[in-house]
Amino acid sequence: MKRLISIMVMVTTMMSLNISAADNNLCLAEDNDCTFVLLTHSSNELVIVNQARAEQALSPFSTFKIANSAIGLETGVINDAGQTLSYDDTAYPPQAWWPSVWKLPKYNLTSAYKFSMVAIYRQLAKDIGDKQMRHYLKTFNYGNQDISSGLDNFWLNGSMKISALEQVKFLQQLHQNQLALSEKTQQELRKVMLAKMTDDYRIYAKTGAGKVDDGSMLGWYVGIVETADESYYFALNFNRPTYQQMKADRIALAMNHLKQAGVID
């Protein structure tokens, strides 16, 4: 059985960001509905906006597709990023509200991840099975590891909860090959997760969103920034009244924080 190589992330410094309250393009220290966490690998330095919110365990929504993809690849349920994937359309019948990118004639892991195709990932979780899902979530120390609300939906405002701080620690372990995953799984996952590439950096990331119990929309953007000489891990989550408002701000907020921290230009 593969074992988790545990790591201790020491907070060497806590930095408060000098941000004007008038700037709504960043999470603010006084905004309880938003947090941003940045972990620098070499120093284990954490920058946190809103400590209490950063520690709050929330539904991961589609950010769980990172772990779900890794488990699917590691167990052999999926062979590689280009394998054609399908789902049981009697169990998950197409809905009128589905976006057009959820109605494509075929998917592979790369496109299903890119378009956050929920039915494909619900099917993947079922194919992985309860026993292996529980094993890998324990190995990953992923959030509260609770899948009791249903194998194919526990991450969709169900029993699974994870904090922004837990997200960055998971991403660090994943990126530093500390989760006992095969080299092939790691290589294929990097292909799937790549969101942006420039001459100076690469970003591997995933969005997530969904309605929570108070009726608002919870939005996530989590990921890894790789430069020539450093790796950074970030997690943003926040609430907005509507999906449209959340979607408009989600990636922009995270990118602004990364720029403000000097991680990217």
For residue 4, tell me if it sits in a domain: no
What CATH number does residue 80 fall under? 3.40.710.10
For residue 221, tell me if it sits in a domain: yes
Query: How far apart, in whole angstroms, are the C-alpha atoms of residue 265 and residue 258?
Result: 8
For residue 14, tell me if it sits in a domain: no
Q: What is the pLDDT of residue 137?
A: 98
Number of folded domains that form the chain: 1
199 pLDDT more than 50: yes
Domain containing residue 54: 25-86+99-260
Q: What is the arithmetic mean of pLDDT over 90-118?
A: 97
pTM of the entire structure? 0.91
For residue 3, tell me if it sits in a domain: no
Is 62 one of the catalytic residues? Answer: yes
Which one of the listed residues 62, 69, 111, 116 is annotated catalytic?
Answer: 62
For residue 177, tell me if it sits in a domain: yes
3 pLDDT more than 70: no
Amino acid identity, position 91: A
Q: What is the pLDDT of residue 2?
A: 35
- Structural contact between residues 116 and 207, judged by C-beta atoms closer than 8 angstroms: yes
For residue 91, tell me if it sits in a domain: no
For residue 92, tell me if it sits in a domain: no
Q: What is the pLDDT of residue 6?
A: 30
For residue range 170-194, what is the model confidence (pLDDT) as tens digits? 999 999 999 999 999 999 999 999 9
For residue range 26-56, what is the model confidence (pLDDT) as tens digits? 998 888 899 999 999 999 999 999 999 999 9
For residue 2, tell me if it sits in a domain: no
Query: How far apart, in whole angstroms, are the C-alpha atoms of residue 30 and residue 39?
Result: 21
Q: What is the pLDDT of residue 31?
A: 84
